[in-house]
Amino acid sequence: MTDLASQSTPPATPRTTPPGAPRRRAVPRPQRLSDATILLLLIAIVAVFSIVTPAGTFLSLSNAESILLTASQLLILSCGITFLLIAGGLDLSIGSITIFSAVVVAKVMGALAGTAAQAADFHYPNLGVAITVAIVCGLLVGAGWGAVNGLLAVKLRIPPFIATLATGGIVLGLASVWTNGQNVQNVPLPFQSSFGLGKLFEVIPWSIVIAAVVTAVFWVVLSKTRFGLHTYAMGANLEAARRAGVNVRRHMVLLYVGTGALCGIVAVLDVARFSTASITSHSGDALSAIAAVVIGGTSLFGGRGRISGTVVGALIPAVLQSGFVIMDVQPFWQNVAVGVVLLVAVYVDQVKIRAQERT
């Protein structure tokens, strides 16, 4: 990953744009081919499962909803990882931050909603306040841990791999100590019934709606704004971005803060859906998100990636899981399949880099 302190690549000659001319960033042809390849892979997987599974099981609205629900939380986390990898960063602590934020959401909501007697009658006089405060606390805690990661990696110049690996262990340990290793289950059930299991217009689950909104926002920011342009510039040539006037330290810290806030969003969705804060449910989120992002075409070496590819990369594990369940295949084969696809994606990425270096 890119080292903010030590990288000394000579700056690239900046390109100037005539006054008044709109800035347009054309998608390179290799990137378009990569996106098409990943999409074709997803379509091929869907086609195979459609053929080998009983009719009406895999290709059904209920199964499509299940796949999107499975992919929604991973997709939200993957959006943050996409930005970090493009800029040359990394975060291995997102699973632990999600768990800690979920514990905060569950405990705050349980403490403010009402008494135990009131909870027994499903009458929570302070439910609205409890939900609002709990959601805000969850987002702030997630963003706060993201800021810690950013300060360690940027200000203290600790390699992101080590910094986030360490904070991941610390955060998960603190959550376990706080809860004595037990899941937090005193979440008001109306929160689950109205939001966690609720649907927009009684059609689309709220988790899918929020994931779609988050993805759309991050897509616009990455592809249409100066912030996204600076993110690409940092990953492509950090020193050139710094000499061009980009505050690379502040920018990288903001990326970590944003990724932490996304962990808070996932924590809220998870507590709403399952009415509990689990201590173990998100332990593998970091590797899953990195795998989804890399499979989607984002380079591990920075400077290249797109949210559209991340969407497809996040859907592939969910489709594999659904297909294996319907076929009554052991779910462990999903890890094997995702691992194979990840290795192929990284190899193709390295081939592209070597080809670019020769030209």
Q: Residue 265: is its pLDDT beyond 70?
A: yes
Amino acid in position 290: I
State the chain's mean pLDDT as an integer: 84
pLDDT tens readout for residues 130-154:
899 999 999 999 999 999 999 999 9
**What pLDDT score does 114 carry?**
66
Choose the weakest-confidence range: 90-94, 251-255, 342-346. Answer: 342-346
Asked whether the predicted pLDDT for residue 359 surpasses 90, the reply is no
The per-residue pLDDT for 285 is 86
Task: For residues 28-35, give the mean pLDDT.
Answer: 54
Among residues 272, 273, 258, 159, which one has the least CA distance to residue 214?
258
CA distance 269 to 90: 24
pLDDT of residue 326 exceeding 60, the answer is yes
Percentage of the chain surpassing pLDDT 90?
Answer: 43
pLDDT band at residue 122 using 50, 70 and 90 as cut-offs: low
pTM of the model: 0.84
- List the one residue out of 266, 276, 104, 113 whose CA is nearest residue 182: 276
- The number of C-alpha atoms within 13 Å of 252 and in the hemisphere containing its C-beta is 34
Task: Over range 264-270, report the average pLDDT.
Answer: 95
Residue 19 pLDDT level (bands cut at 50, 70, 90): very low
